Structure 1
């Protein structure tokens, strides 16, 4: 069941084409189960195409049109089809019962594949081949990707900073991490609890962390929100910095020392285009034919401008080392 359910999640990655359900939150546990239920060798994952499905019925009745959709998704079994389609609502701010005549869904040509088949990131990033690990956040598609030696290892969803508190683009490194932290921006009388916190911009206190996530759109005060499974995975996968006060695994206390070795490189992409305000557009359309919007990565990660003095310092060290080698 889980093998077909994940691809069904992606039946409507195109935003704005269907009835919107604002103000609702991702069911993080359910998304985690569906995102990571299938694993294949990267080279064995087939290419996926996309087709538009327009809800219609000769009676003009939306209930009958949804029933036709469920039967199509369930190979004739309406109950199975509705189950397979359950997570469409969480990925694109739609709820199945909100769908009406004329709403457009985007269906993948293959179901039940490794989730990397549906990633809005290239499966191979040649420019990052020299990086053991590279972490990328793209504000345009509101998603993240983890690469190992240039191969896509995993990807997921994010909420970056809202329109009036955008997450700054640039090149960073993971610094210190803490399992549990209360946000310094918590208002009086409230405690905004962040879990599996991994900082990448120490001076401004910007991290990736688990938190509640409105469906599909930027929402934070500058940090990057993740679902629980992703926050846990990144916390264990990425490397923290090493300073004279210890490694970043010691938490904020490690910031009291001088940086000896940077952590995993982090790229925040998405400036140079209109700020995301509302659900991201993950598909491009040529007439009535949709295609997945794949993030255009820089030729090399170091082409992304440094975002902090830490990056500029280590850039100078790299240039000096290259000049003397």
Structure 2
């Protein structure tokens, strides 16, 4: 009997041990599975992040790769035209045949447009290594404008001119609508054009420069009397080259000369009663490298300014612009009310006698 009890107890003990071992094994396997899944999730997450980084790197490098390919193509085809989506490279200086083809292909009007897009005057066409040429010529020059056609925050401003240092161009707005744009060459690195808000003051058809009395400035309109800064006609080599002034093509300088308002001084000419047309000069230029308009072949919108971008640039100056506008409107109204009435015209019948 005792022997049977001992055997039975031993059997139950072994069964209990086996069950515990099995239970422990299952629990260990479940924990291992959870760890494995956690590690897999981490690996998957790392892989996703790595793939995302690779994709971002690929996207960021597309422009650089495309630019490098174009530059390589230009080198290997030094004497041929390279055509992009909207613009083409014409290597003018190193190729006599292409230079002749250029002048035979494009009209005087088209050459003027090409020069303006390259921020030069037509006299400098032959001096350029390469020209940016549009593949299709638009109906009007304003259609090439990098400035937005309409700005909401200046709809109540009758006249304003905006000069952009980065793209070396100016835009003219009347009540928020773009009416004209054109190229400019502003102050060189050593004598940069000051930035900020200015108002036109005095003008002169032909003005002798204070820097060199041999320089005659045609259609000069001053915007900073003490600083001696203004716009006028002068040579446009295609980069900032002036002694702080705003160089323009002759036709553009003449147009702005007649369009903008002069200041009004007191009788003793010591005090400004009314300021002229507001002028904003803004932005920075990367000196030592070609202007960004040379990248139009790779990126046709490289010089394009967005509406929100330009409105943000104008916004800090609006209070002063409206303040000076109110002063001018009051002056004009007072001048109109105080204007003496003209005598009525006496009509005399013609006589043969």
The TM-score range, normalised by the shorter chain, is 0.5 to 0.7
- Please give the secondary structure, in 2, of the residue aligned with 1:135: strand
Match of 2:86 among 51, 59, 66: 51
Q: Which runs of 5+ in 2 are unaligned?
A: 1-66, 76-83, 328-353
**For the Cα contact (< 8 Å) 2:116–2:182, is it kept in 1?**
no
Higher-RCO chain (CA-CA 8 Å, sequence separation at least 6): 1
- Please give the secondary structure, in 1, of the residue aligned with 2:149: coil
Alignment coverage as a number of residue pairs: 238
Q: Which runs of 5+ in 1 are unaligned?
A: 1-13, 20-48, 246-253, 319-325
TM-score scaled by length of structure 2: 0.56
Match of 1:226 among 235, 248, 251: 248
Alpha-carbon distance between aligned partners in 1 of 2:207 and 2:263, rounded to the nearest angstrom? 19
Deviations 1:156-188 (A, max 9, x none): 1111111100001101111111112111111xx
Q: Map of 1:138-153 to 2, 5 A cutoff?
A: 138-153=164-179
Match of 1:191 among 209, 214, 224: 214
Q: Which residue of 2 aligns with 1:259?
A: 272
Alpha-carbon distance between aligned partners in 2 of 1:146 and 1:204, rounded to the nearest angstrom? 23
TM-score scaled by length of structure 1: 0.60
The alpha-carbon deviation at position 206 of structure 1 amounts to 0.7
**For the Cα contact (< 8 Å) 1:183–1:191, is it kept in 2?**
yes
Deviations 1:197-221 (A, max 9, x none): 111111111111112x232111111
The alpha-carbon deviation at position 80 of structure 1 amounts to 3.9
Shift in CA distance, 238/297, structure 1 to aligned 2, threshold 3 Å? same
RMSD: 4.1
Q: Map of 1:1-325 to 2, 5 A cutoff?
A: 51-53=86-88, 66=98, 79-81=104-106, 86-87=111-112, 88=114, 91-92=117-118, 95=125, 105=132, 107-108=134-135, 110-186=136-212, 190-211=213-234, 213-245=235-267, 256-270=269-283, 273-277=284-288, 279-282=290-293, 288-295=298-305, 296-299=309-312, 301-304=314-317
Alpha-carbon distance between aligned partners in 2 of 1:98 and 1:192, rounded to the nearest angstrom? 24
Alpha-carbon distance between aligned partners in 2 of 1:184 and 1:238, rounded to the nearest angstrom? 23
Shift in CA distance, 183/129, structure 1 to aligned 2, threshold 3 Å? same
More helix by share: 2
More strand by share: 1
Shift in CA distance, 277/202, structure 1 to aligned 2, threshold 3 Å? farther
The alpha-carbon deviation at position 233 of structure 1 amounts to 0.7
The alpha-carbon deviation at position 274 of structure 1 amounts to 4.3
Alpha-carbon distance between aligned partners in 2 of 1:280 and 1:98, rounded to the nearest angstrom? 13
